[in-house]
A and B are shown apart, each in its own frame.
Chain A
Amino acid sequence: MTLALLGATHHSVPLALRERLAFTTEQAIDAIGRFRDIFPGREIVLLSTCNRVEIYTAGEQDAPPPTADEMVRFLADCRGLNAGDLAGHLDCQVDQAVVRHLFGVASGLDSMVLGEPQILSQVKQAWAMARERDSAGPLTTEMFQSALRTAKRVASETAIGRERLSIPSVAVADFARGVFERFDDKRVLLLGAGKMAAETLLYLRDGGARHVVLLNRSRARADELAEKLGGVAVDWSRLDEELALADLVVSTTGASEPVVDAARYATIEPARGGRPLVVLDLAVPRDFDPAINSRPGVWLYSIEDLAAACEANRRKRQREIPAALAIVEEETSRFMAELHHRHTGPVIEQLRAGWNETGEAELERLFRKLPELDSAARLEIRKAFDRYAAKLLHRPLTSLRHESHSGPPHGLLDALKRLFHLED
């Protein structure tokens, strides 16, 4: 039984090549079919995301594994590339390394953004597609189920995916949420038309924000954005009035000078009635004078502040790596031990069958000699024979299980075969 992986990931493959290697759903379905034709009896799961293309294959001994060259040629053919162009970029692994890699991938440990959760659903999708196409067999099914369990453990037992890493999500979840309990009764003011403002608004909308006002120096652009993002567009000339009414400002104008300086804010402040104001200044150069931050009730965050917070979160995630890797290693060992133990199945079955056959023959002889035994007594004797056989088998089976932790227990299996004249 062999496991193999051919992978092209963001670690070793440049973006341009990754783009050419990526599979659409239809292409992936076609590739799975081709693989089954070329390598009958082998299981395959194809994982294709923007950061990785990985082919996981598995099979029993009677389905010989494809060589690394065959796998590379297959991938190149599928994507219409020259196999030589892929040389040095692809990563080929077998057996335990494949399992360890998949478990790490599913847990987000191999992702470009450490601990990101999307990869888990992509792994699930890849496995689901393989099952739909009947290309996932018992080995890949067991491996992917274990991968999902590992990812779940990593997510629940470490904090690797908990800290937010994008500026809009940190701005809303870690800062705006720290000030406001709810957004549905807050007035959100969007200044400018930056892309990040739109992303931030998505997070605010998820949090319940309903009252959104958009201001842009170009009224036409403000109207366009209001239609696209939802909200009310107003004239730029109303900036002071809107600042007096707003609870949360997201600012991304392209102005070269601060749009709101300290003196201007001082004239607006009395009209705010002491309400707190959160300003997410995502513009470069900044739209709000940093001096405004010293005003009571103002919580001003520049893009630099938010980027520093993201970096701090990234470091927090990195500190979780050892704990996550320990879980991956533990689950890999457990999976491999189970896999190795499967080798012993046929031998154990033969051993059991042989002992049962001998036991049955002896019982028949005994019952013929003692015809006076009633059915209850016969049943008790039969049970005693079974218990005796089970106890005799217990120690060799335990030894086999222990041996499986360090690899397929070939030595013990050979010994058993020779001692008890079992067939291969």
Chain B
Amino acid sequence: MEEQNYRSKKVIPYLLLTPTMLILILFLYWPSLQSIYLSFYQQAPFGRKKIFIGLNNYFSLFQNSNYLISIFRSTIFTLITIVLGLFLALILAILLNQDLKGIKFYRVIFFIPYAISATVAGSLWVFILNPVAGQVNYLLDLLFNLQIAWLTNSFFAFLAVIMATIWKNIGFNIIFFLAGLQSIPESIYESARIDGANSLTIFRHITVPLLSPTTFYLVIMNIIFSVFESFGIIDIMTQGGPANSTNILIYKLYREMFINFRPGSAAAQTVVLLILVIIVTILHFKYGNNKVHYQ
């Protein structure tokens, strides 16, 4: 009796895990491995015929100036989004960390854009930037006599997509900066003030260094956001245009597969992104938990 109980208990954890592992292996692991495998083949769209071509998909990818430009463009996009986005979020987090009646209400407001989907965010921004009915252009015209063709000019379209991405993610960044700010003990500020430090010195030499673990985590997360999650924003706002100016890696990959129907090249592009996620995740696990306070 007792032995049977023991044996059945041994099987139970595996039974509990079976559905989860089945889904993960079938729909997460297998397709990812398949991406790597397919990247070595040339394949007719959705056809069964495949020809092994070794690394040729990669060679042609990295000889394609369009792809190289897209890598460069994605890097700039990510850098600007992170630097500007985190800077704004930190300032807002400091404001939202003040002891003030109704501060919780303000916090919820700044978090709303993060709850909104990327497609809706894109739709809202296309609208307010449009030249016909958009109020932003009207205000810019009124105040500065500026007429900006936001979505038809390469430079401004790039800028518009960056603004929408920063707007969408600012709530996420604020939440983490707020948590970081609240974990800094008041006594450190007090002793600094007793030593005669002014607000700016305190900010530069206490707040910023003590927030560095949070900042590091947010940089990692924002790389993921701008590389992957911006797909919806771009698909609604610009579809990669005008003249490819907003055609960043994830959008290019989607177009290669579902518009140009080139699965081999799409698989190679997928592997490039996969390598990027793995590097970022390793960085996260390796340095994320260490305190990077006093570099």
Please determine whether chains A and B interact with each other in the same assembly. Answer: no
